[in-house]
Amino acid sequence: MTKMPNPRNRDIFKRLLTYVADLKGIFIISALALVAYAIVDATFLYLIRPFIDEGFAATPTPSIVDGIEVANTHGFKSDSNVLKIAPFIVIGLFILRGFFNFVATYGVSYMSTRVVETMRQQVFDHILRLPVSFMDKMSPGELISKVTYDTEQIARASGNTLVTLIRDGVSVIAYLGVMFSMSWKLSLCILIIVPLIGVVVSVVNKRLRKVSRQIQNAMGTVTAASEQMIKGHKNVLIFGGQKTESARFAKVNKYNRYQNMKLATVQAISQPTVMVISSLALGAVIYAASLDSLHDELTAGIFAAMLSTMLALLQPIKNLTRLNAEFQRGMTACATVFELIDTPAEKDEGTHEVERVAGDIKFDNVSFSYPEQEKLALDQVSLEVKQGRTLALVGRSGSGKSTIASLITRFYGELREGQIMLDGIDIHDYSLKGLRSQIALVSQQVTLFNDTIANNIAYAYPGEVTREQVIEAATLAYAMEFIERLPDGLDTEIGENGVMLSGGQRQRIAIARAILRNAPVLILDEATSALDTESEKAIQKGLDNLRRNRTSIVIAHRLSTIENADEILVIDQGKVVERGNHKSLLEQNGMYAKLYQMQFGG
Ligand code: ADP
Ligand code: MG
């Protein structure tokens, strides 16, 4: 039952053990407590016989109390001493049982919560170091479930496995010992009959469970239908879709009830069926006991003890048969977690460190394709931005502009060909942290953290940041004007991902964050595209402040925002198709001119 079918599982298990390697003492104490627990239970079952046989002795002699003959209620003489001690023994045993149970539960929980804690932290920290290309492939839900659910699963499964293996394993052996010590003949009968019935019960049970599961799988539609309506509430109202939605829901709702009734019926049938079949075992054992050859050696106490032990055996046996499945579940969860932990982190082999670069950026014939993709996202792109200058990238969506930004920050690894240089040094020669600290990136999606505005502006700022610095950055970003109107000013909590702020306000916080960072290189990737012209004008001043004295690469959707860039590149299908400044590009009368005319209507 406890075999480890493949060597892979053995490796995973060995690795899992390393997480509790320093908890050997607790492991041993818990294991001992589990063994003791099982033995106490067995002792209790063993004592049933003397309690009955000696407490209500089966010798039909009249008892003599103080010389007077009296018949007790059973007409039997009883050894009242046994019955007088019995309560103390019973209570004592249960106290012991409770104590061992507490020690074992505490110990096992201690170990499993430690595993969860360590593993979670490890998974979390590792995700922080994973490359963007890996995150592109994964769904956030999948990753979150690895941090929360899978780690928990591992601990629960391995805790259960441990408890079952030790406590239930010892129980079965001890119970069998109790039975055989009383009557090996009846024990043999039981050992033949019970498993036979057990097989029948489990076959019937499996079938019934399968049916229930199929029905359960068919449910869950109610959630989906409600979710659709709740999420789309506004749309339903404006299109007057109440009737449609209500009818759709009624259908799902009714179907759900049918399924529930089916499930209840199957369950209502299954329980009594299993009970009736099980009673066959009991009947067979009682019948066996009535046979002459057995009957002679059985006393009431033995028979009662045997039946109790037989019933007591069922639970640990059940647990042991489930052991492998439980263990496999734990190993599967373990495998997925280890797989994540083993995913290579971002490559970070560069060693060049520099306090502050001047900010000369150069792409030399760069070609790049995304992992597992044939198509080139960038095709022999060359560009150069000198310190303090502004380069603008324009082009249709999907042309490769953001890819250029992602390569400068080394979000993606290998280039197909070419080189990207910062201050004349290949960016791959910088340490990742060093390189990224030189760059401020403001994009269309602003990520705000569940914290105060001040802390969001100072997010991950290296070193101490003063209040004055935050205010200065917020003022330069033209964010102070709306921050001041908030109830707690800079200390306003903005809630999960800043839901209470408008797009323009979020954008200005992002700009303030970039200003505070004071990095020599600035990348604006459609930073203002989501805004209306008015907000954009307000933010533009903030952006102009941000761009001062920095090398800037500006990706813009609206051409009006980049007219005075030092150079403008038009990108199409990963290639630079035109380059020049606003004036010269208009004169070329090519793609830029066409885009310009589209936006300004002639
Ligand atoms: P732009 O920013 O100009 O709109 P992108 O640089 O985002 O364009 O995209 C350029 C091309 O690369 C597109 O064809 C896009 O489908 C592809 N692409 C962008 N990001 C990824 C990614 N993470 N994985 C695979 N392909 C991508
Ligand atoms: Mg883009």
Alpha carbon distance 265, 318 (integer Å): 25
Q: Using a 6 Å cutoff on CB, does residue 134 contact ligand 1?
A: no
Q: Using a 6 Å cutoff on CB, does residue 403 contact ligand 1?
A: yes
Rounded average pLDDT over 198-225: 77
Q: Using a 6 Å cutoff on CB, does residue 137 contact ligand 1?
A: no
**By the 8 A CB rule, do 571 and 395 touch?**
yes
What pLDDT does 72 receive? Answer: 45
Q: How would DSSP label each residue in 250-279?
A: HHHHHHHHHHHHHHHHHHHHHHHHHHHHHH
What pLDDT does 68 receive? Answer: 47
Query: Ligand 1, closest atom to CA 405?
Result: 6
Listed residue (483, 426, 473) closest to 452, CA to CA: 483
Residues with CB under 5 A from ligand 2 (ion): 402
What pLDDT does 3 receive? Answer: 46
Q: Using a 6 Å cutoff on CB, does residue 62 contact ligand 1?
A: no
Q: What is the pLDDT of residues 300-340, one digit of tens each?
A: 899 999 999 988 998 998 889 888 888 888 999 999 999 99
Degrees to nearest 5, angle at CA 222 with 217 and 226: 145
Q: Whose CA is nearest to atom 2 of ligand 1?
A: 402
**In percent, how much of the chain has pLDDT > 90?**
48
Q: Using a 6 Å cutoff on CB, does residue 556 contact ligand 1?
A: no
Rounded average pLDDT over 56-80: 51
| C-alpha pair distances (Å), 338 with each of 46, 121, 505, 577 | 46, 13, 41, 46
Query: Ligand 1, closest atom to CA 136?
Result: 23
- 66, pLDDT greater than 70: no
What pLDDT does 82 receive? Answer: 83
- Best probe residue, ligand 1, of 399, 411, 443 (max atoms within 8 Å of C-beta): 399
Q: Whose CA is nearest to atom 13 of ligand 1?
A: 398
Listed residue (437, 439, 419) closest to 429, CA to CA: 419
Rounded average pLDDT over 469-494: 89
Instruction: For the chain, give the number of residues.
Output: 602
Q: Using a 6 Å cutoff on CB, does residue 11 contact ligand 1?
A: no
| C-alpha pair distances (Å), 527 with each of 199, 446, 460 | 67, 9, 20
Radius of gyration of the chain (CA): 38
Ligand 2 centroid distance, CA of 443 (Å) = 9
Q: Whose CA is nearest to atom 6 of ligand 1?
A: 400
Backbone φ and ψ for 59, nearest 5 degrees, come out as -85, 115
Q: Using a 6 Å cutoff on CB, does residue 372 contact ligand 1?
A: no
Alpha carbon distance 346, 52 (integer Å): 72
Q: Whose CA is nearest to atom 25 of ligand 1?
A: 370
Alpha carbon distance 496, 504 (integer Å): 17
Alpha carbon distance 506, 528 (integer Å): 11
- 538, pLDDT greater than 80: no
Q: What three-state secondary structure class fits 531?
A: coil
What pLDDT does 2 receive? Answer: 44
pTM for the full predicted model: 0.79
| Confidence grade of residue 400 (pLDDT, cut at 50, 70, 90) | very high
**In percent, how much of the chain has pLDDT > 70?**
93
Backbone φ and ψ for 64, nearest 5 degrees, come out as -115, 115
Ligand 1 centroid distance, CA of 132 (Å) = 13
Q: Where is average pLDDT lowest: 271-275, 332-336, 348-352?
A: 271-275
Ligand 2 centroid distance, CA of 558 (Å) = 13
Q: Whose CA is nearest to atom 21 of ligand 1?
A: 370
- Best probe residue, ligand 1, of 372, 374, 401, 402 (max atoms within 8 Å of C-beta): 402
Query: Ligand 1, closest atom to CA 399?
Result: 3
Query: Ligand 1, closest atom to CA 370?
Result: 25
**By the 8 A CB rule, do 440 and 510 touch?**
no
**By the 8 A CB rule, do 104 and 34 touch?**
yes
What pLDDT does 6 receive? Answer: 59
Query: Ligand 1, closest atom to CA 404?
Result: 6
Tell me whether residue 70 is exposed, middle or buried, using C-beta atoms within 10 angstroms of its C-beta: 0 to 12, 13 to 18, 19 or more.
exposed
Chain Cα centroid distance, residue 223: 21
Closest ligand to residue 526's CA:
2
Alpha carbon distance 359, 549 (integer Å): 10
Q: What is the pLDDT of residues 567-597, one digit of tens each?
A: 999 999 999 999 999 999 999 999 999 988 8
